[in-house]
Amino acid sequence: MKPRRALRRGAFTPYLFLAPGLVLFALFRVYPLLEGLWLSFTNARLGRAQQTFVGAANYLRLLDDTRFHVSLVNTAYYTIASTVPILAVPLVLAVALNRGVALRTFLRGAFFFPFTLSVVTVGLTWLWLLDPVIGPSTYYLRAAGVPVRSWLADPGTAMWAIIVTTVWWVTGYYLVIYLAGLQDIPRELYEAAAIDGAGGWRSFWSITMPLLRPVFLFVLVTHVIGSFQIFGQVFVLTNGGPGDATRTVVQHLYETAFQNFFHFGSASAMAWVLFVIILVFSLLQFRLLRGHTQY
């Protein structure tokens, strides 16, 4: 039997190891989450020392806040419209890279590189590329006979410019994830399919796609969680304009809390509405895609 002192000291050891991390975690993750929920039921403002409970008033006000509705619609539009390119572009590149292409490490690195940049750097890059007067894209598109407009100043195209920018930014990240998923698919399956006479196209749809289902789920959930929080690209490229055509939820939240009204209660209510939407979407995707992954 161990001496009692050692036993007692040993019993505390795990908690001593955990302590610094748990303090950080409790203070900067758990507490703000709950504090935010409380704030959303108060009239808190920047600089107001005391806040009073106002019930669901902040949530009820959101029902009348048309700019919030616009920002929700824009965010949903962005999320849905960007889903197909963000699922498909990295997948196509990954499947191509997985077909015994030479220079794989270099190619993967080239596509991954934009992901190492900050959203501001990426935004400034595309701002310059898409400059309606002197940007190179304007010149080359005009030379190719494409009618050129000011992509970022046109309400019909501004969101698409943001989507193109985002696809350029994050494709490399998802490409690496798809590549890893592709490498986990046993080669024998393709060999067996080839013996049975299946062509490349057929084995892509019958083997690759079904076996990549968990990877799709991860990419989709990650993308949707990120998309609902889109802010940086919009801030740099359009600042929500033209008009409110690209105003997003987080931008509206940011302006409500820190630029126009300093209304923390109202902004916290928006944050929780956003949180619930993200949770519901994530759970839905898990439900839809989780089954049938056993092979």
Partner 1 sequence: MSRTGRSWRAALTALMVALAIVWLLPAVWVLVTSLKLTENIVRVPPEWIPWPATIEHYGEVLFSSSRTARIGRAFFNSIVVSLGSVALVVLASAMAAYPLARMRFRGRNLVFGLIVGSLMIPNAVILVPQYVLVQRLGWLSTYQGLIVPEAAMTFAFGVFLLRQFFLTIPSELEDAARIDGADPWQIFTRIVLPLSQPVLGALAIFAFRSAWNDFLWPLIAVNKPDMFPLPVALALLRGAYAAESYGPIMAGAVLSALPLLIVFLVANRRIVEGVRVSALKG
Q: For residue 44, with 0-12 CB atoms within 10 Å meaning exposed, 13-18 middle and 19 or more buried, which class applies? A: buried
What is the x/- site pattern for partner 1, positions 200-219, by CB under 8 A?
A: ---------------x--x-
Residue among 7, 30, 80, 284 that touches partner 1 (CB under 8 A) = 30
Kindly report the number of other CB atoms within 10 A of residue 128's CB atom. Answer: 12
Cα 76 from Cα 125, distance rounded (Å)? 25
Distance CA 73, CA 65 (A): 13
231-250: contacts with partner 1 (CB under 8 A):
231-232, 235-236, 250
Question: 21: Cβ–Cβ under 8 A, 6 or more apart, which residues?
Answer: none
Is cis: bond before 242, omega within 30 of 0?
A: yes
191 binds partner 1 (CB under 8 A): no
* Least distance between partner 1 and beta carbon 60 (Å): 19
For residues 29 and 187, which CB has a smaller minimum distance to partner 1 in the complex? 29
Closest distance of CB 221 from partner 1, Å:
9
Q: Does 106 participate in binding partner 1 (rule CB under 8 A)?
A: yes
> 274 is written with which tokens?
């956003």
Residue 81 Cβ, how far from partner 1 at the closest point, in Å? 20
How many residues bind partner 1 (CB under 8 A)? The answer is 93
Contacting partner 1 within 73-102 (CB under 8 A): 93, 96-97, 99-102
Name the residue nearer to partner 1 (CB basis): 159 or 172. Answer: 172
With CB under 8 A as the contact rule, the residue among 7, 67, 80, 121 that binds partner 1 is 121
Look up tokens 């955990």; give the residue: 18
For residue 100, the minimal CB distance to partner 1 (Å) is 5
Cα separation, 83 vs 220, whole angstroms: 8
Among 43, 83, 157, 229, binds partner 1 (CB under 8 A): 229
Please state, in angstroms and rounded to a whole number, the distance separating the CA atoms of residues 268 and 253. Answer: 8
Do residues 151 and 160 lie in contact, with contact meaning Cβ atoms separated by under 8 Å? yes
43 touching partner 1, by CB under 8 A: no
129 binds partner 1 (CB under 8 A): yes
Least distance from partner 1 to the Cβ atom of residue 200, Å: 10
- Verify binding: residue 163, partner 1, rule CB under 8 A: no
Q: Give me the long-range contacts of 202-208 (CB less than 8 A, separation at least 24).
A: 204/95, 208/95, 208/182
- For partner 1, the binding residue among 3, 4, 5, 11 (CB under 8 A) is 11
